[in-house]
Structure 1
Amino acid sequence: MAAAKRRGAEALVLERIGRVDDRRVLSGIIFINRNGLRWQGAPSEYGPPKTLYNRWKRWSELGVFARIFEGLAAGAPEPGTIMIDATYLKAHRTASSLGKKGGRGRLIGRTKGGMNTKLHAVTDGEGRPLRLFMTAGQVSDYTGARAMLRDLPPAKWLLGDRGYDADWFREGLQDKGLRVCIPGRKGRKSPVRYDRRRYKRRNRIEIMFGRLKDWRRVATRYDRCPKVFLSAIALAATVLFWL
């Protein structure tokens, strides 16, 4: 009963003051995510903080930001080279406390660096992200590689570091018609030949991760819900690389 009265009061207020423009709210959401502020810290020009937070949560749960990123990335020209790698994103204590029961959980794991989440990504030859996948921090890079192998964009070459040196992964890439440029692990009995000159271009995916981490809300995870946190990453990737 109380909740119904509250919703009715909020609807009445919105009717009187009018709905805040979505573009204005989106600018506020970008401002908060880029600077890692509390929602109460948003300048008044972007609208009420509660409005910013409510639409951020609603749009994130609906997958709006992920669909925008996927749509823009899918419209890019077919890349000649793609790259794969992963990075750690630190989880703040507000995100890692009170673990969720059941389901996939919050995708937060414990490593030597503390509580974190691992972001797996596939980019084009210029370092622009094409695919994103998230796991708990302690999960192997092979898990991300296996998940993204089925949906790799068409290309001629794939570049990766020696963390992706696995026979099943190389065979899967070759079945897709991709030429592999991945150095062999040090423990291999027989060395693996790869194009060293082409491999030097792999630093572009490292630069991409660095630019994503310039957004404070990406570098440090405050969101408990993994879908909301992935929305923050997708929003940052869209603004930085596809707009």
Structure 2
Amino acid sequence: MAMERGDLTHVEWARLKLHLPKSGQRGGRWVSHRKVINGILYRLRTGVPWRDLPARLGPWKTVYERHRRWSADGMWDRIFAAVLADADTEGRIDWSMVSVDSTPCRAHQHAAGARKTAPRVPRKDARPGCIVPTRDSVAPGAA
């Protein structure tokens, strides 16, 4: 299999394949995990629809189904945790560079909260389009 730009390298694949489920045959020809992961990475990188995946990455439906199944059962989280633990054990992570961003995010002025007083409601006997204040909506001492 010829490696294309963006595909997993041999070193990346060697680290990753240890944590993947065992391949098996379910009736038809089994598409390798490496080819499927390359298809998932291609889609994430380019943003193309599943049906537009290049044929070299296998049937689009196979790539989609395996990605969906692994997402639903938490496989991606387990793979990430395992690869991170391996990298930490081998000393390939510099934890001194980890930080938490505490930049404040301002909310839009309309997200400030709900109205504190009840809205003015027109009386039933008022002219259309005319808002007549009710007894409850007039501020005390204003009348």
Q: Which has the higher helix share?
A: 1
Q: Which has the higher strand share?
A: 1
Normalising by the residue count of structure 2, what TM-score does the alignment of the two structures yield? 0.45
Greater length-normalized contact order (CA 8 Å, ≥ 6 residues apart): 1
> Highest CA radius of gyration, 1 or 2?
2
